[in-house]
């Protein structure tokens, strides 16, 4: 077999070309202000990704309201211990905040209501198209907050469900009741469905926020444990 010399091919890439390639990859992962909510087209936040038109639909608005109400109901049941098959534990309300499950649940509820508000305003804007530019300027910060909280809620819904059923759940200690299923299964199911419906993209640079929440919870847990904190069953939190 003949050996073809390497110099027959233009395999050399200059340092400048490498820099340009790396810059393009970096910008695709961490977009600049041109890809921020200030400049993202409205269908990214107001419309379902499966829509073929650019009008905010009543069906999508109803979906957003149903999800928001559902998450609020789950949050209320968890906080008030409604639907649990065992008596309310001592210091339930004080210790409700120490679990990452509930941090993620709060994020789910917040993003759901922000989404409902944004889509509602989008429908109102469709009725008053001439006011579009004014509304964009006023709502861009709301879009940014929703975008970040949505990413946090999605990531931690999956993490909580995976970690709980893989490492935490013990049939001798934990019961599979309505509250347990709502906060460790239903939240992930809803966010998975929502992930296939929403029209806005997912940005890698939002990993800063999800990582920050994880670090904050880890620091809180360490301090709580070192201070002798206990879980809801009065066992040492670890």
d(CA 94, CA 97): 7
d(CA 23, CA 18): 8
| Residue 58 falls inside a structural domain | yes
| Residue 32 falls inside a structural domain | no
Kindly calculate the radius of gyration of the chain based on its CA atoms and give it in whole angstroms. Answer: 23
| Residue 14 falls inside a structural domain | no
Both structure tokens of 43: 């269908």
Q: Quick one: how far is CA 112 from the chain centroid?
A: 10
pLDDT one-digit tens code per residue, 112-154:
999 999 999 888 876 665 444 445 545 578 888 999 999 999 9
| Residue 212 falls inside a structural domain | yes
At residue 41, the pLDDT reads 58
Q: Give me the domain span that covers residue 178.
A: 39-85+92-227
Both structure tokens of 169: 């759940």
Backbone angles phi, psi at 81, to 5 degrees: 60, 40
| Residue 142 falls inside a structural domain | yes
| Residue 29 falls inside a structural domain | no
Contact 79, 73 (CB under 8 A): no
Of the pLDDT bands very low, low, confident and very high (cuts 50, 70, 90), residue 231 is: confident
Count of domains forming the chain: 1
| Residue 13 falls inside a structural domain | no
| Residue 4 falls inside a structural domain | no
């Amino acid at each position: 077999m003949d050996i073809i010399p390497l110099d027959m091919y233009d395999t050399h890439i200059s340092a400048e070309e490498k820099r340009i390639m790396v810059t393009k990859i970096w910008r695709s992962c961490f977009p600049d202000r041109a890809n921020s909510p200030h400049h993202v087209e409205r269908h990214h936040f107001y419309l379902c990704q499966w829509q073929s038109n650019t009008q905010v639909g009543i069906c999508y608005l109803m979906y957003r309201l149903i999800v928001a109400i559902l998450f609020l109901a789950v949050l209320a049941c968890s906080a008030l211990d409604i639907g649990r098959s065992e008596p309310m534990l001592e210091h339930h309300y004080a210790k409700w905040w120490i679990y990452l499950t509930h941090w993620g649940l709060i994020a789910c509820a917040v993003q759901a209501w922000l989404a409902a508000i944004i889509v509602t305003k989008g429908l109102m804007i469709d009725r008053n198209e001439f006011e579009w530019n004014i509304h964009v300027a006023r709502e861009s910060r709301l879009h940014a907050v929703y975008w970040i909280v949505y990413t946090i809620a999605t990531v931690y819904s999956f993490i909580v469900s995976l970690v709980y059923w893989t490492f935490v759940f013990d049939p001798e200690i934990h019961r599979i009741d309505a509250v347990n299923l709502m906060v460790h299964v239903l939240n992930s199911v809803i966010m998975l469905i929502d992930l296939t419906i929403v029209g806005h993209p997912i940005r890698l640079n939002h990993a800063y926020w999800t990582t920050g929440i994880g670090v904050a919870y880890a620091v809180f847990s360490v301090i709580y444990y070192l201070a002798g904190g206990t879980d809801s069953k009065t066992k040492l939190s670890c």
